[in-house]
């Protein structure tokens, strides 16, 4: 019996024979070509074929997993058309007279390194997407398939160095029990797709699977990140019992759909969801979310090559509002900067970006950008129950200035006879010690508070949350952080407004009783955390 530890990214237990897949990617050789223009045309032909292939995968994904997950492959096709990406390849071919494979590979490494160097884990995970689409083009140029084998038979666990999103979505759900990879990221599209498919997954197992492992019995625990090859009888029985327990728990959670989020003593808490794009609404509804407490609108910017237009944003906000019906949708205004960077903003390098030019500071300094978003947001408010929320607030003057710009936009829309909700609720993020200290005065200016515990922990404890060396110091359970939350809730209630939590701490069931004692009104969490949290609250 051999046991390995990785990172569990999709819960569940898989037990079955393993099939090891080895990628067939060959080393890309640099060759000098006599006709660079002909090589550019060869690249363009491969690019067209790759886009067509991704179109087929996109349609297949839509049929199996829904339109929301299929949007990933629309993004992949856009990557292959990205002017900067294409020009980098073609310029290298023309300037250095190199073969198309080498030019694509060089550009892939350049772009992947750029993503991997970013502080934001979501953007770091996009490196795998650029590698996926680029490798597809390289394989087409070399008349190769990406893998040297496919899953044979049924009831297998797949082990691989890594799996690209396009490979993951093409796995036969009826044949594959789960998978384990040596590389990968919990924020990668591969992990996201696996969770949607309901497959137990463990990544980061630095084992180096051999072909000889194929056929061996394997256990994959997607909750703990444990992987066991050739388990003994006692271990196998232990995990079979754990598997049965997990499946029974999932069935019981489904019975909580439609049930009130209420304690045995009658205390009610609203359970909302955090999302980053319109396609995420499907998961919110599937998990019985009572609303959306945080729509991270910055992802509309991060996934665009230029400033997203008013119309583009309007369509996104309207789509979410309409899908959610009467349920509240809280849209956080642009929170770019710090660990979320978009090149077209032209932001200068900062030694300490977490304390720098970000979020509401950008919006108030560049109101022309802010107004575009507010117009889109207000227009969408005519189609559902939308609220607006300003991030990174530290003073009353910032709130008043932001509300003043919102009033200007309302006046412009009225003059143009454009419909919007005149009484749209306005809230702020409480994520700095300054906003906690000023909560009494801030509460008089807005309709609600939402506590961003990720940044509040960082700023309260003076610990950079991106720094892996500070794990034991950046304790979100710190009495200082909890006292900050309690002070905020009391200030909100003293002024008759509601207060929620939209940081990761909201899903921590170890603190659910603490938050209930504080009188928290709302918890906004990832969609998959809604039913387990409802279970914990109803047991109170």
- Please state the residue numbers annotated as binding site for Mg(2+): 431, 455
218 neighbors 179 (Cβ within 8 angstroms)? no
22 is catalytic: no
Strands (E) across 104-175 are located at 156-160
Terminal Cα distance for the chain, rounded: 41
80 neighbors 47 (Cβ within 8 angstroms)? yes
Tokens of 102: 């080498």
Distance in angstroms (rounded) separating the CA atoms of residues 461 and 439: 19
254 neighbors 528 (Cβ within 8 angstroms)? no
166 neighbors 76 (Cβ within 8 angstroms)? yes
On the CB side of 329, CA atoms within 13 Å amount to: 33
Catalytic residue among 76, 156, 189, 499: 189
451 neighbors 502 (Cβ within 8 angstroms)? yes
User: 3-state DSSP: the chain helix, strand, coil percent, rounded to 5?
Assistant: 50, 15, 35
Binding-site annotation: residue ranges for phosphoenolpyruvate:
296, 332, 454-455, 465
Distance in angstroms (rounded) separating the CA atoms of residues 167 and 155: 18
Q: Token pair 């006709």 is at which residue?
A: 35
Torsion of CA 131, 137, 138, 139, to 10 degrees: 110
On the CB side of 364, CA atoms within 13 Å amount to: 19
Catalytic residue among 363, 463, 499, 502: 502
Chain centre distance of CA 163: 18
Per DSSP, the three-state class of 534 is helix
Max CA separation in the chain (angstroms): 80
189 is catalytic: yes
Residues identified as active-site? 189, 502
């Amino acid at each position: 019996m051999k046991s390995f530890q990785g990172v569990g990214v999709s819960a569940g237990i898989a037990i079955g024979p393993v099939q090891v897949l080895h990628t067939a990617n060959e080393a890309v050789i640099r060759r000098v070509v006599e006709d660079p223009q002909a090589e550019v045309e060869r690249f363009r032909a491969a690019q067209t074929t790759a886009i067509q292939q991704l179109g087929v995968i996109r349609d297949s994904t839509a049929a199996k997993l829904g339109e929301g997950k299929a949007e990933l492959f629309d993004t992949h096709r856009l990557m292959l058309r990205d002017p900067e990406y294409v020009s980098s390849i073609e310029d290298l071919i023309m300037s250095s007279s190199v073969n198309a494979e080498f030019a694509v590979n060089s550009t892939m490494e350049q772009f992947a390194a750029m993503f991997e160097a970013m502080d934001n884990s979501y953007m770091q995970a996009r490196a795998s997407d650029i590698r996926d689409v680029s490798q597809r083009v390289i394989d087409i140029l070399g008349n190769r398939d990406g893998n040297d084998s496919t899953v044979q038979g049924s009831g297998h666990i797949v082990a691989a160095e890594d799996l690209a999103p396009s490979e993951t979505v093409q796995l036969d759900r009826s044949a594959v029990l789960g998978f384990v990879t040596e590389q990968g990221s919990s924020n990668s599209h591969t992990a996201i797709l696996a969770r949607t498919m309901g497959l137990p997954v463990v990544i980061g197992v630095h084992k180096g699977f051999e072909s000889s492992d194929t056929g061996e019995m394997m256990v994959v625990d997607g909750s703990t990140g444990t992987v066991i090859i050739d388990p003994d009888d006692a271990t196998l029985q232990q995990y079979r019992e754990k598997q049965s327990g997990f499946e029974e728990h999932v069935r019981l959670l489904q019975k909580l759909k439609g049930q009130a989020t209420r304690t045995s003593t009658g205390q009610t808490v609203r359970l909302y969801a955090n999302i980053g794009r319109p396609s995420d609404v499907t998961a919110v509804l599937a998990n019985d979310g009572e609303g959306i407490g945080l729509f991270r609108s910055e992802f509309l910017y991060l996934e665009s090559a230029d400033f997203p237009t008013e119309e583009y944003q309007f369509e996104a906000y309207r789509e979410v509002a309409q899908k959610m019906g009467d349920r509240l949708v809280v849209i956080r205004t642009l929170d770019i900067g710090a660990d979320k960077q978009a090149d077209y903003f032209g932001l200068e390098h900062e030694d300490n970006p977490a304390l720098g030019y970000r979020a509401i500071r950008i919006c108030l300094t560049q109101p022309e950008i802010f107004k575009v978003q507010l117009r889109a947001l207000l227009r969408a408010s005519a189609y559902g129950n939308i609220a607006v929320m300003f991030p990174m607030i530290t003073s009353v003057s910032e709130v008043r200035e932001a509300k003043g710009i919102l009033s200007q936009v309302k006046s412009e829309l009225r003059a143009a006879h454009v419909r919007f909700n005149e009484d749209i609720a306005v809230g702020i993020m409480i994520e700095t010690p300054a906003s906690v200290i000023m909560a009494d005065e801030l509460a008089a200016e807005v309709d609600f508070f939402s506590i961003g515990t990720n940044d509040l922990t960082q700023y309260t404890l003076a610990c950079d949350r991106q720094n892996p060396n500070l794990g034991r110091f950046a304790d979100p359970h710190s009495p200082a952080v909890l006292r900050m939350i309690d002070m905020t809730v009391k200030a909100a209630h003293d002024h008759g407004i509601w207060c929620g939590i939209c940081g990761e701490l909201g899903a921590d069931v170890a603190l659910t009783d603490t938050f209930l004692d504080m009188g928290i009104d709302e918890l906004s969490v990832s969609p998959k955390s809604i039913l387990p949290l409802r279970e914990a609250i109803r047991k109170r």
